[in-house]
Each structure stands twice: as structure tokens, then as C-alpha cells.
Structure 1
């Protein structure tokens, strides 16, 4: 696992140069530099923590895949395209919400991070674990974040100001991670709440996507084509909705599998 410690540096070096983090406009690129530092630190801590608490291969794959996608979404060309195109901006948002966030949840990185930070960050990990007990509440929080940042004023503000753009990304990633953590890691007693949370998120994101799709005027300024906005709505509505359906199906499948596994033992107890 020591080789993984070099991955954050390799993954961030090229995109950082492409976005001019080290040119004359370094002060203006400070939000991107801070984002790179946070993502790289989280990745490096996971790699170091994996030495103390070895993860499953599937979990490690999910974490490293999520980090690669995050580096591409934040520092790759898609971030430049998002400045000019509503559909590319929506693609960036969907990568945060329905790709990176669920991969982080499936990766279950807290044991590795706790293995490095020890007691120093224990209150943070405890708070995250406790929050995971309330899928419906986290779905409402995540939904509020999505709708608030898609209001015209905040949407344009995030495009015009790199600091607010970084805050927007952080809101999507953190609230999305908490949401997917609570539903994908729900225990059997929480399955009804988890399914309700997924259905609620599916419905309101579909509604937002429909509003963008069927809108006849540009919500985010005259410089953005209505057709591009409609494509953005379709991206949220169709591919995003499919991910939520898959998530709900996975939750139901895990729940039914647990029930089926208990049936033979229950029958043996009755026969004895």
C-alpha cells in the first residue's frame, strides 16, 4: 500500500499545472490550491491508514476510483467547460452527487482515516457515524443543498467567484457523501427510512431536472442557451434518476438477502 501514497501527487500535478496554480495568478487560484490540498490529504491519509487497517479490495478500489474522478472533475478540463456550458456544469455536479459520493460511501474510509488520526479527529468521525442513523434527515439536507445551489443567483455566483465555486463543490460532496453513507450502509431496521430517503431524492431531483428541461427561457443568464439548459435538465433527470433507482434496488437486495439467510436457521430452530 505504500505505493498508493504517491497516487495523490501524481494525480494532482498535471491538472494543477493545467489550471495555472503555479503561474502569476497564484493568488486568484488559491481556492483550487486549497481544494487540491484537501483532496490530496484525504487520499494520502487513506493510503497511510490502510497500513494500519487494511481495507477490502473492493473498498480500496471504490476509494481510489472516487478520488481519481474527483481530481478530474475539479481540476480537469471539465471545470473549464462548466464555466461556459450549463450541461457541462450539470455533468460536474452529477459526478459529485451520484458518482464520487456513493463511491466514498461504498469505500467505507473511516477506519483507515481513524487509524492515522487516532483520537485527534475522533469527534468528527463519531459525528459522521451518528448522522448516518438518520437517512431521511440527511436526504432533506442534501436536497436543500441541491436546490439552493441551483437557484439563479447562487449558480451564477459560483461561476463568477472561485471561492464560492469551491464552497459549492464542498457542499455537494459532503452532503452527498453523508446521504449515500446513511442509505447504502443502513442497518435492517433503517431500511424503510433509507428507501424513503432514496425515493424522496429521486422525486425532487427529477422535478428539478424537469424544470430545467421544459424551461423555455434561460434561468442562468441570457448568455447561456436554452437548449444547453434543457440538456442539463435531462442529465439530472435521466442518468441521475437511474443511479437513485440502482441505489434503492441495491438497498432492497441487501435487505432481502439478509432475510433469506435467516430463514434456514429459523426453520431449523422450529424443527428442533
Structure 2
């Protein structure tokens, strides 16, 4: 996708993408507006700690797309492309979903936008279907596996439409699974123990994919093989193994921490203690 850059210019290959940057700024503005409205009513439901969480999630997602990570990952290093994907599909989304948990999910959108959307029957039915735990997991798995099929992965690397579609589908899949794990709106589609099981399933699914990439005996993607210059001196198979490690470590940090917090909440519930000091369960 695009001309090959001289390696000395790669580290300065920032791309200003108005839709991405604008989307991030709008999301932050919506959050701050909703946070302020809720805080006027109940300060305990809109603590200051939510602001850095949401801003960090939005910034991580935007930077993963507009920073040199994008150019390096597309053209030179599979490991950097994997880093971009886990930042977009896991870390950024996890931070933002945690930030809006509780009543903030309702206050996030301005009322003049939320009300018309809530009246759209087809939208409500679609969301209700996608947010069934089994459907959320299936969408995430299909997205994860499909985009690592070599011919589809290569198409995304060399075609802007497919590349943007890949990123969008990762975001959608990530939102669905993290909504099940965190349950920000308190719909309780899953019990706490079921959320523990769901989180474990997501973790081990990711680990199986990571192990497959790590231990595959040859490079999977021609783009990272057919290069006149080996960035950082990494051979294709070494780079591919590093991509698997990136996925394993990121999953351990994000999904693993979520599992630990859920386990702590389950233990406190059994002991008859409040799960969190701000009285909002995980």
C-alpha cells in the first residue's frame, strides 16, 4: 500500500488521517461532555480517574494508525503490524470500555444523538444480536482468524479499502468481546463466573493463534519476505516469531489483568465484600 520509503525516513512516517484524528477528538469530546453531565448528578459515578483512562485509550488507538507503526508494519515488519493490531483491537478498546463502565455508557452520547439512535428498531435489534455472548465471541474469532489467512492478509497490505476494513473489523470485534468481559452497561448477559469463563476462552483463543504464528515453520506472508532491505536486520521467520510473542505478551497483559480483576471480584463477592470502592462492580 503506497511506495516503499527509504528506511531512514520510516521513523518520521507520520500520516495525518482526518477521519481517524477527528474521530478520536470527537470521542474524547463526547466522553468529557457526558462525564461532566453525570458528575453534576453523582460525583461518585464519574470519578476523575475515568478521564485519563478514556483519553489514553483514544490516543493509543489513533497513534497506532497515524504513527510510523503503520508504515513500518505495512511494508517491513510483521511484528510491528501485530503490535498495531493489538493496540487497536485490545489495549485501546479495553481502556475506553473500562472508562465508560456504569452510567457513563448512557451519558456518553449527547441526548439529541442518543434518542434518535435508540428509536431505530433495526439498530437496536442488530446490537442486541451482536451482543449475545456467543455471537460476540464468534465475530471476534472469525475476524482474528480470517485476517491472518495469507491471501487476505496480503490483500489488506496492498489495498487501502481492505486495509481499512481489516482495522474496522478488529475494532468491532474488540468492542464486542470487551463489552462481554467488562459489562459496562450492567446488562448482566453473563454472570460473574460466566464472565470469568468467557475471559479465559478469549485468552486461550488468542494464545492458540499466537502459538500458531510463533511456531510455524516458514514465513506466512510474502510481503515480509520479498524486501530489498531487512529492517533492524530481522529475518522474515524471526520477525514472524516476534509477532507471535507480541500477541502472547499483549494478551497476557490485557486479558490476563481483566481475568485477575474478575477473579478478585468473585472472591470478594463470595466473602460478602464490595467488589470496588466506588461501588461499581467490575
One fold, TM greater than 0.5?
yes
Q: Secondary structure at the match of 1:121?
A: helix
Structure 1 gaps of 5+ residues are 1-16, 22-31, 264-272
8 A contact 1:86–1:229 mirrored in 2: yes
Tell me how far 1:181 sits from its aligned partner: 1.5
- Computed over aligned residues only, the root mean square deviation of the Cα atoms, in angstroms, reads 2.7
TM-score normalised by structure 2 residue count? 0.74
* Residue in structure 2 matched with residue 184 of structure 1 by the alignment: 182
* C-alpha distance after superposition, 1:204-251 (max 9, x if no partner): 211111111111211111327111011001111233234322211211
TM-score normalised by structure 1 residue count? 0.76
Corresponding position: 1:42 with 2:34: no
Corresponding position: 1:122 with 2:114: no
Q: Secondary structure at the match of 1:251?
A: helix
For the residues of structure 1 that align with 2:124 and 2:38, how far apart are their CA atoms?
18
Task: Give matches, 1:51-130, under 5 Å.
Answer: 51-54=36-39, 55-83=46-74, 84-108=76-100, 109-116=104-111, 117-122=113-118, 130=128
* Residue in structure 2 matched with residue 212 of structure 1 by the alignment: 213
For the residues of structure 2 that align with 1:74 and 1:150, how far apart are their CA atoms?
19
8 A contact 2:30–2:110 mirrored in 1: no
For the residues of structure 1 that align with 2:180 and 2:199, how far apart are their CA atoms?
10
Tell me how far 1:44 sits from its aligned partner: 2.4
For the residues of structure 2 that align with 1:66 and 1:128, how far apart are their CA atoms?
25
* Residue in structure 2 matched with residue 247 of structure 1 by the alignment: 258
Higher helix share: 1
Note closer, same or farther for the CA distance 1:214–1:76 as it changes in structure 2 (3 Å cut): same
Q: Secondary structure at the match of 1:114?
A: coil
For the residues of structure 2 that align with 1:66 and 1:162, how far apart are their CA atoms?
24
For the residues of structure 1 that align with 2:251 and 2:265, how far apart are their CA atoms?
21
8 A contact 1:102–1:180 mirrored in 2: yes
Note closer, same or farther for the CA distance 1:62–1:133 as it changes in structure 2 (3 Å cut): same
Q: Comparing 79-88 with 97-106, which one deviates more in the overlay?
A: 97-106
For the residues of structure 2 that align with 1:239 and 1:111, how far apart are their CA atoms?
30
Note closer, same or farther for the CA distance 1:198–1:252 as it changes in structure 2 (3 Å cut): same
* Residue in structure 1 matched with residue 4 of structure 2 by the alignment: none
Note closer, same or farther for the CA distance 1:128–1:178 as it changes in structure 2 (3 Å cut): farther
Note closer, same or farther for the CA distance 1:123–1:153 as it changes in structure 2 (3 Å cut): farther
Number of residues of Structure 1 aligned to a counterpart in Structure 2: 236
For the residues of structure 1 that align with 2:166 and 2:266, how far apart are their CA atoms?
34
Q: Comparing 223-232 with 178-187, which one deviates more in the overlay?
A: 178-187
